[in-house]
Structures are given as structure tokens and as C-alpha cells.
Amino acid sequence: METREFVWTRRHVWSLGVLCLAQVLDSVDVTIVNVALPAIQNDLGFSAAALSWVINAYMVVFGGFLLLGGRLGDLYGHRRVLLGGVALFTAASAAAGFAQSEWALVAARAVQGMGAAFIAPMTLALIALIFPEGPPRNRAFAVWGAATGAASTVGLIAGGLFADGPGWRWIFFVNLPVGLLLLVAGRLLGDGEQPARTSRGFDLLGALTSTAGVGLLAYAVLQTDVNGWSSPRTLVLLGVAAALLAWFVLQEARIAREPLVALRLFGNRSLLGANIIQALRGAAMFAVFYFATLYMQRVLGYSALVTGLAYVPLTVILIAASALGPRLVRRFGTRLVIAGAALVTALGLALFTRLSPDGTLLADVMPPLLVVGLGLGVIVVPLTTAALTGVPPSSSGVASSLLNVSAQLGGALGLAVLSAVAVGASADGPVGSATALVAGYRLGFGVAAGLMAVVVVIALVVLHNRREGS
């Protein structure tokens, strides 16, 4: 319902700025580490297999603790959990910067992931609670989406600058002043976001099984590049993860008095459809950064820093497209805007299938990158709106967590599948040649385009075409 009486105040602007900065702190850390991995390996003596855990430790714990973080916010206050997550993340960043061994850095990264799992869902939940449905909330989501999109590219550029300059440890030390600023500024968000509750019960078994199940699933998927999908190790891990998640569903549906996730939420078609779409969108977005980065570095021969700078135009169009999203929703409704944005994204991914071994940045990479950026940017606001529309305030933290879980697991699972597909296609050509690599990248982008075509269908069939004020 449109809220005509809502007036933006300095307090609202300040609150939105704090929440966007918290999201940036989380999002930057996903990409800033990537380009510094060679320097980390040389300094701490990581093996090639162990080096991946500088990334994986963060992703596994982040994915595993998201639902728990969302539920804690609903129970004990979203601002309180947000600040707790920031404090944990900041302390872990200091530990990572001072790490003198492999295990110390991996452990610090895991704790960073836990802190991030408490930050990410709280930023969305607080926006949904501070800003009423309609134009105010959509504008806030647009700013949040622009900050999130910009953060990924900022991370790539900053990682290259620090790795080539003062050293890789500064990719973690830079989090300290930002975290301290958030701890001070975040106290001004107020306590009004705490929903009234008649019970403060907590489903400990549900929290443990969901965290273990999601974390183990993420771990199993991320290890397929080493063990393969059909290896006994992978199959056992996937089986145990499936069993834990099945027990979690039973626990929430039949046993728990205070469920971690009220399964009735999935009766909301909008929330269910938005989460499926978010998972497929995550797979496509991970594919863009992964394959485009490899193409620019391994085929075109660009350095890590130049590759990061090449994403600056993508950041600009993501920000502009995020601002365009609310206007399109007012005119066409969430369902049509999501379907249209997904179609544009699919077309951009399809353009990537024209990559060639002797291509150029301006002719082969930039045009499809900008088209994909337009689609992914426009979809942010209507998708977030669809996921949180009709969700009661007492469940906003969990609903926000579900959207993050969908993006995280969809991205990890989708990238593992797309990477395996690309490697298989590359194996048909000369090993390590540009021709073989490009063949794999083309197929990976083609499958990703197919996933976004599926999003078009889901949006049109499942979602309601909600307009602002309707």
C-alpha cells in the first residue's frame, strides 16, 4: 500500500547510509580477497589445494549461519544482531591481517563469514522495517542494491591496489576503521525495529541442523572442483547434507514449538518465487565474474588490477539500473519488470557466447557486460520487494536470510555446475590453449543464459504483478 504521508528525514537518510555501509563491508570482502590470493600463497606458503579455503572458509560459514542470524535478529533485535555481527567481523579482520600461518588465516576467514551472516540479513530486514511499503521502501532498496553492486567491483579494484602496494594484509586491515565507524554510527539506528513478541523461545536443534546442513551442502559443492560430482566423498557429503536438511524441515513442521523458520512463509507465492529466482540470478552473476575474469586474464592477458578496473563500467550501469527499477515497478509491476530484466540479462549472457581467442576488451567483453549489468541492476529492487511483501515484521529477519541463502547457495551450486560444464568443453581442444578455454567459457555463458530464461518463465507464472500503491 502506498504511503503518501511518509516524509524522508535526516534520520532516514542516516539510517540508510549506515545500512548500506554495513552491506558494503560484507559485499566487498567477497571479492577483495580473490586478486590477492597469489600474494597470500607466496607469503604464507599455501598449497594450491589449501589456498581455495581462504575463499571457501568464508563462504561455507556465511551460508551456514544465515538462517540462524536472521532468526536471532527477529528474536533479540535487528540492530543488536547487526552490531554484534559488525563487531565479530571487525575482530576477525584484524586476526586475518595479523595471521602468520595457513590455519590462522583460514580460521579468521571462517569467523568473518559468521559475522557477515549476521550482517547481511539485518540490513535488508531493517530497511523493510524502517521504510514502509511503496515508494519509500523501493527507493531505499534501490540505494541498497546500488551499493551492493558497486561493492563487488570496488573489492576487485581495492584487492589489486593493496596486493600491488602495501601488501595483502591491508585487504583485511582496511575493514577496521569501517567496522569501528559502523559500531558508533549504528547505535543511532534506534531500537524501534524490535518487534513485539509473546515468546522468546529458540529452536536450538533447528538452528544446529540448518546451519550444519546448509554449511555442509556449501562445502560439498565447493569441493567438486577437486573431488568431482560422482566421487564417493562428494556423494556422502551431499547425502548427509540432504539428511540434515530433511530433518530440519521435519523439525520445523512437526516438532519445534518456536520454529527457526515458519514453513507457512513458503505459502507466500511471492516469497517462494523470489527465492527461486534469486538462486538462479546468483548462479548467473557468479558466472559473469568468474568466466569474464578468466577470459580477460588467461586469454587477453590483463593483470588483476586492470581486470578489476574493467568492471568499473559495469558498476556504473548497475547503480543507474538499480535507480531505474522502482520507476519501472510503478508503471509495469514487479512481475513484468523481473521478467523483462531477466530477459535482458539472458540476452547479455548470450552475447558472451560470441567470445573469440583473439578478441578485445571493447568489442568482446564490454558490450555484453553492460547488457548483463542493466538486467541484473533493474531486477534488484522488484525482487527484494517481492521477497519481503506480505511478510510480517516478526519474520522479516528470517525472510531476508532466506533471500541471502538463495543467492549464496544458488551462486555456489550454479558456479560449480557451470565450471564443470566449461571444463568439460575445454577438454575437447588442446590443453590450456586459448581456443579450448574460450570454448568452455562460451558454453558456461550459454548455460547461464538458459538459467535466466527460466527466470523469465518463473516470474510470469509464479509472481503477482504488484505495483506500488496496489
The confidence score (pLDDT) of residue 370 equals 93
Top-confidence range, 270-274, 276-280, 325-329: 276-280
Q: DSSP state, 45?
A: T
Q: Are 388 and 396 within 8 A, CB to CB?
A: yes
Asked whether 99 and 108 are in contact (CB, 8 A), the reply is yes
Is the pLDDT confidence value at 107 over 80?
yes
Q: Which positions ≥6 away from 296 have C-beta within 8 Å?
A: 302, 306, 307, 310, 361, 365
Q: For residue 451, give Cα distances in angstroms to 88, 159, 275, 312, 367.
A: 36, 30, 14, 25, 20
Q: Is the CB of residue 91 less than 8 Å from the CB of residue 182? A: no
| Helical ranges in 131-203 per DSSP H | 135-164, 170-173, 175-185
pLDDT of residue 90: 95
Give tens-digit pLDDT for 125-181.
Answer: 888 788 877 778 778 877 887 787 778 777 878 877 887 788 889 989 999 999 999
Mean pLDDT over residues 179-195, rounded? Answer: 72
What's the mean pLDDT in 399-427?
75
Identify which of 366, 85, 405 has the alpha carbon closest to the alpha carbon of residue 261: 405
Q: What's the confidence (pLDDT) of residue 449?
A: 93
H-type alpha helices, 52-174? 53-76, 78-98, 102-130, 135-164, 170-173
What is the pLDDT, as a whole number, of residue 210? 78
Average pLDDT over residues 111-120: 90
pLDDT single digits (tens) 83-103: 999 999 999 999 999 999 888
Which residue is it, cell 550444519?
212
pLDDT of residue 2: 46
Residue whose C-alpha is closest to residue 121's, from 75, 68, 178, 199: 68
Opening angle at CA 220, ends 214 and 223, nearest 5: 140
Single out the residue of 320, 439, 429 nearest to residue 381, CA to CA: 320
d(CA 328, CA 385): 13
Could you tell me the pLDDT band of residue 44, with boundaries at 50, 70 and 90? confident
Backbone angles phi, psi at 131, to 5 degrees: -110, 130
Buried-exposed string 141-160: b where 16+ CB fall within 10 A, e elsewhere? bbbbbbbbbbbbbbbbbbbb
